[in-house]
Amino acid sequence: MNYDVIIIGSGVTGAGIARELSKYKLKIAVLDKASELPSGASRANSSMIHGGFDDKPGTQKSKFCVKGNKLWHKLAKELDVHLDECGSYVCAFNDDEVKHLEKLLEQGKINGCPGLEIISGDKLREKEPNVSKEIVAALWSPEAAIINNFEAVNALIESAKINGANLFLETLVTGLLFDDEKNIKGVSTDKGDFLAPVVINAAGVHAGEISSWAGDTSFKIIPTKGEYFLLDRTTQGTVHSFLFSCPSKAGKGVTVLQTAEGNLMSGPTATEQEDPEDTSTTPEGLAEVLKGARRLVPDFPIRSNITTFAGVRANTESGDFEIKTLKSPRGFVNVAGIKSPGFTSSPAIAEYVAEMLKEELSDRIKLTPNENFIPERKNIPRFLYLDMAERKKLADENPSYAQIVCRCETVTEGQVLEAISRRGARTITAVKMMTRAGTGRCQGGFCCPRVAEILSRELNIPLDEVTRHGGESKLLTGKTKEPLLNKMKGAE
């Protein structure tokens, strides 16, 4: 299989690059080991589109964050993705922290982050009545926003596919292939070889390992876990904006936010660990989150918690992104160390990578504009947000939109069918990522068997072959009473 460019990883970084490169006449292959998107850090994070005041001026992070923020405001409309333009506050509890706010304000101005302002604790409480009375001041960033990260990654990759890119899920990249001059020829995977003169490494927490295959060990990924609480939507309105504590060396600290879909959420911790894939939550981590949440919002309604989760950051020692082409082997591009504010920065990173290919790898890849590029992409209809007239119209046109599958999030069979038949969902989790079926209060208790039945019917596979997230993650292990019947047969 021959391509012009291979992208390893389809998180927000790889998916964003794929969409950007689909603006050119290129044969693109995006390879991801996961069964559905997003996987990795792009699935489990705070979903904040940062204002851009937090990063040291002059770093790649500071440059891409402010630009990425601007681009997301436009992209969210183009790609039909939920973006809540809610703004953010960094909260200070004492004079030292107020000094820190002043530093962030100056830093933000240098980075080009617009509209920053320090306000008093009382003014903050006028907007956010549930925050602590101990907060003395806050840094307001009006351009900050919260995005639906599941929708965003799926929208980017879908847009890339509409414009000709090819996505290969469940495809684990196992090595790099080199030509006689020891330059890049492609990659080997568990599904066979893929050939291309340019390979882009956007493999998140695994990017360090893949970079070392190309001989670049100049950075090391330090997997750093962040744990969260996610609360029921009945908590909507507890806060309206994204609330940060003052940042420390360990990270931006525990935050309290309302997701783009109206759930209250709090986290993350920042714990270094060996295993890049360990996304378990821990009693200690969650206790730390709850303490941080209550510091910001004393009556944080933890009784409405519906799930906990964790994501793993691809931190590096330099603290900055590692985006560069290698001199040798030619054709290898690292887009690594994409930690926070990586989600925010991703569209700006994607533009930068396209420019880098033009300037530094023009002997290997030609970026000729694709005049047929279609910028827009439409999401699956979100039944929950439609008014009664719109719901009726949809159901009249297609009766499967009259069948509710997920009661908590009001997801219809029509949406699930759209995810499977037109958008390529093959697992319970893929349907969840595309439609939100299973993300509500009962966490799939009601809709999971129904989604499994629809997957079985539409994919024409036995029910016991349906998986939660690919591989051996099957839901059913056998028929009820089968072991007992077998035992009785044995006794005959």
Ligand X SMILES: Cc1cc2nc3c(=O)[nH]c(=O)nc-3n(C[C@H](O)[C@H](O)[C@H](O)COP(=O)(O)OP(=O)(O)OC[C@H]3O[C@@H](n4cnc5c(N)ncnc54)[C@H](O)[C@@H]3O)c2cc1C
Question: Which 3 state secondary structure label does DSSP give 396?
Answer: helix
Contact, 354 vs 323, CB < 8 A?
Answer: no
Q: Measured from the CB atom, is 313 or 382 closer to ligand X? A: 313
Phi (first) and psi of residue 13, to 5 degrees: -70, -55
- The least CB distance from residue 40 to ligand X, in Å, is 2
We find the least distance from the C-beta atom of residue 92 to ligand X, in angstroms, to be: 20
Reduced DSSP (H G I as helix, E B as strand, rest coil) percent helix, strand, coil of the chain, to 5: 35, 20, 40
Written as one letter, the residue type at 365 is I
Dmax of the chain from CA atoms?
83
Q: What angle do CA 121, 51, 264 make, to 5 degrees?
A: 65
Amino acid at residue number 267: G
Q: Report the C-alpha gap between 184 and 187 in whole angstroms.
A: 8
Taking the complex as a whole, how short is the minimal distance between the CB of residue 476 and ligand X, in angstroms?
26
Beta carbon of residue 214, minimum distance to ligand X (angstroms, whole number): 13
Provide the H-helix boundaries in 255-299.
Answer: 283-296
Q: Please state the closest distance from residue 278 (CB atom) to ligand X, in A.
A: 12
Catalytic residue among 50, 82, 206, 469: 50
Of 238 and 316, nearer to ligand X (C-beta) is 316
Q: What is the dihedral of CA 427, 429, 430, 436, to 10 degrees?
A: 140
Of 226 and 440, the one with the shorter C-beta distance to ligand X is 226
Q: Considering beta carbons, is residue 38 or 87 the nearer one to ligand X?
A: 38
Given the complex with ligand X, which of 31 and 447 has the nearer CB atom?
A: 31
Task: Report the interface residues with ligand X, using CB under 6 A.
Answer: 8-14, 31-34, 38-42, 45-48, 50, 172-173, 202-206, 226, 268, 311-313, 338-344
Angle at 262 between CA 52 and CA 36, to 5 degrees: 80
Annotated active-site residue 469? The verdict is no
The number of C-alpha atoms within 13 Å of 300 and in the hemisphere containing its C-beta is 27
* Residue 75 CB-density burial (10 A; 0-12 exposed, 13-18 middle, 19+ buried): buried
Minimal distance, residue 266 CB to ligand X, in Å: 12
**Position with the least CB separation from ligand X:** 342
Q: How far is the CB of 153 from ligand X (least distance, A)?
A: 8
Q: Which is nearer to ligand X, 344 or 412 (CB)?
A: 344
What b/e readout covers 169-190, taking b as 16+ CB neighbours within 10 angstroms? bbbebeebebeeeeebbbbebe
**Contacts with 227 (C-beta within 8 Å, 6 or more apart), sequence order:** 267, 268, 269, 271, 281, 282, 285, 286, 288, 289, 308, 309, 310
Q: Which is nearer to ligand X, 68 or 414 (CB)?
A: 68
CB of 206 to ligand X, least distance (A): 3
Residue with Cβ nearer ligand X (226 or 331): 226
User: For residues 369 and 417, what is the distance between their CA atoms, to the nearest angstrom?
Assistant: 35
Secondary structure element (H or E) that encloses residue 140, with its range:
strand 137-141
Q: Which residues are catalytic?
A: 50
